[in-house]
Amino acid sequence: MMLRPGYEYQVGGSLKLNALSYVARQADAELYDSLIQGELCYVFNSRQMGKSSLRLRTKQRLQQAGMRCASIDLARIGSKTITPEQWYTGIVVDVVRGFDLFDQFDFVNWGDSAELSLIQRLSQFIEGLLKQVSGERLFIFLDEIDSVLSLDFAVDDFFALIRYCYNQRAENPAYERLGWALFGVATPSDLIRDPALTPFNIGRAIDLQGFKLAEVQPLIDGLEGAVSHPQTVLKEILNWTGGQPFLTQKLCRIVAERGREHEQDRDLEETSYQLDQELPIANPHLINFYYSLPILAIERLVRSHLIDQWEVQDQPEHLKTIRDRLLQEPQGLLELYQTVLQGAVVEANDAAAMALLLSGVVTRRQGKLQVANRIYQEVFNLDWVEQQLAARRPYAAALQRWLDSERSDAAALLRGEALQQAQRWAMTHRLSDLDYQFLISSQAAAWREFQQESHSAAVLIAHLSHELRTPLHAILGFTQRLERDLSLQATQQEHLRIIHQNADHLLTLITHLLELSKAAHQPTEPTALPSALATDLTPELLVHLDLDWVKQMHQAALCTDEQQILGLLAQLPAAESQTAAVLSEWVNQFRCDKILELTQLLQSQLQ
């Protein structure tokens, strides 16, 4: 078989404009058509999904159609140490360079007035640009848009300007010739939070998905001459990669290289058994047969080149990028991923879910999060997640001892400052069921011990009061007898009176302390509650409550913060007065553990 000349799989980085391995996806047509129709477009996705290659191809198509394009790499302009003036000037420079207007532009005074704000000067520049390049359609591509998150100054006005350019079409037809496309690893809410300024509620999101089997003919072409059944092999490759562009290109290259080595050596019977040391066979005829079974051969290559010892083989970096994002992103991301791995239904509708999507390890299917492909599921499996979480938990060793004892070792449970530290940590992390069980068990054990200690303290107080009152009564008796002695001088009588008065006061205090101790440790009758909810407050009766409120209540109960619990109860509408009364009574009875159990069940039903 003859190999296709000049063919090369691209692993990492943008594909060249003439790259034979470029796969045109549905997003290619959607982005081009939307820009032609005048829509403001943005492509936000995880790293190494082919955003830059899509941008270059779309730009080339627009230029071939007679339009002018300028690309701005915002990461290249700078981030942390750059000033606002330098940043806005960098944008202007890249626009001028992209439209090849160097000879016609004054970089020293790119705004008519230094008294104008930077955003006003940029707006003035764009308006002048449309006048200078009249009659032609202009497109500005902003790449690495997420780099603005590292700036030391706000750029809300910049995104507001993009929105302004779009809205100006209604009164200034020149703006109809200007189009924008934004690319990066971000969500619209990350970039700008003010809905009155954001351009994203009027723009079009381009959904950049992985390769589909119907789209990958260019990749199949590259396997011609390297394997016997290219289409079958490519189908099995997609079965492992889920169409993720970087992994698909990398695995295609591995397969092509191995297949070509096999073709070159197949006539050398004495050495053919050495062509693949990972194969569990040596007979050359069986090797040929093995290569005709893509399912077996591809799995072997995936495990030996991508999964086994992946941290060593991850070149260029891909899996490490995902790992770092899972570990460094906002707290709770790893716990959310653990929930996905455990098969729970997680909807892609909050900030944590969006952050997990941008890591690339999961994808959205029918509104729910699922692991993006088999390779990620093998590398970042439950064991790996548990190891990472164990390294993070401040109570990791105690939890492991508790589990090793099959949850019977009460000594492994947290107490005192250790429990308080764990509760503070829990407030900023998304906990697994195992974490909840351990912390709830620790809190329950601490409460039982507190009650036992309180009872012991009451017994001690009663004993001490008896021991103290006996000598006090003796002191009082003797002072009373001495006070009747007429031979005592007036000064001595005054001293006896002071001794008697202080002993009597001390006796009163001891008696009062004993009464308080008894009252505090006598079982109290529960207050009558206004309805049947008093004995049967179940999650089913409360599923109409707001999930965020339930989560806040759960965290407050976990930290036994009675004041916060009462504050949250005060937020309930009047229609929930019976529910508030029951929960208030639980607080009065020091039963935060009951609130924990209820809110835990509620969250599982509401999510």
Q: Quick check: helix, strand or coil at residue 477?
A: helix
Alpha helices in 196-318 (DSSP H): 217-223, 230-241, 245-265, 269-272, 284-291, 294-302, 310-313
pLDDT of residue 592: 72
Q: For residue range 142-183, list pLDDT tens digits in order.
A: 999 999 999 989 899 999 999 999 999 999 999 999 999 999
The C-alpha atoms of residue 524 and residue 526 are separated, in whole angstroms, by 6
Rounded mean pLDDT for each run of 10 residues along the chain, 607 residues in total: 71 91 97 97 95 97 97 89 91 94 74 77 92 93 94 91 94 96 92 80 93 96 87 93 97 87 51 41 51 72 94 94 86 86 87 91 93 97 89 86 91 89 77 79 80 66 64 71 75 80 75 65 46 60 84 79 81 83 76 78 76
The model carries a pTM of: 0.69
Strand duo 138-143 + 362-365: pairing: unpaired
The C-alpha atoms of residue 111 and residue 117 are separated, in whole angstroms, by 9
What is the 8-class DSSP label of residue 281? -
For the structural domain made of 26-205, what CATH number should be given? Answer: 3.40.50.300
Q: How many Å separate Cα 207 from the centre of its chain?
A: 20
List 363's β-bridge partners, or say none.
370
pLDDT of residue 534: 45
The C-alpha atoms of residue 260 and residue 3 are separated, in whole angstroms, by 8
Q: Quick check: helix, strand or coil at residue 142?
A: strand
CB 28, CB 58: distance < 8 Å = yes
pLDDT of residue 180: 97
The C-alpha angle with vertex 477 and arms to 475 and 480, in degrees rounded to 5, equals 105
pLDDT of residue 607: 67
pLDDT of residue 527: 42
Alpha helices in 414-489 (DSSP H): 416-426, 433-483
Strand duo 204-205 + 138-143: pairing: unpaired
What are the boundaries of each domain within the chain? 26-205, 213-308, 444-521, 532-606
Would you say the C-alpha torsion 522, 525, 526, 527 has a positive or negative sign? Answer: negative
pLDDT of residue 113: 63
The C-alpha atoms of residue 122 and residue 111 are separated, in whole angstroms, by 7
pLDDT of residue 272: 34
pLDDT of residue 268: 42
Question: Is the bond into 316 cis (omega within 30 degrees of 0)?
Answer: yes
The C-alpha atoms of residue 104 and residue 8 are separated, in whole angstroms, by 41
**What's the Cα-to-Cα distance from 546 to each of 224, 424, 542, 553, 565, rounded to whole Å?**
57, 23, 9, 11, 15
pLDDT of residue 502: 76
**What's the Cα-to-Cα distance from 110 to each of 75, 86, 118, 119, 129, rounded to whole Å?**
22, 12, 10, 12, 11
CB 69, CB 141: distance < 8 Å = yes
What is the 8-class DSSP label of residue 545? S
The C-alpha atoms of residue 410 and residue 438 are separated, in whole angstroms, by 11
Q: Quick check: helix, strand or coil at residue 38?
A: coil
Burial class (CB in 10 A: 0-12, 13-18, 19+), 282: exposed
pLDDT of residue 460: 65
The C-alpha atoms of residue 526 and residue 336 are separated, in whole angstroms, by 40
Same fold: 26-205 with 444-521: no
Q: Quick check: helix, strand or coil at residue 368?
A: strand
The C-alpha atoms of residue 572 and residue 586 are separated, in whole angstroms, by 16
CATH architecture assignment, domain 444-521: Up-down Bundle (1.20)
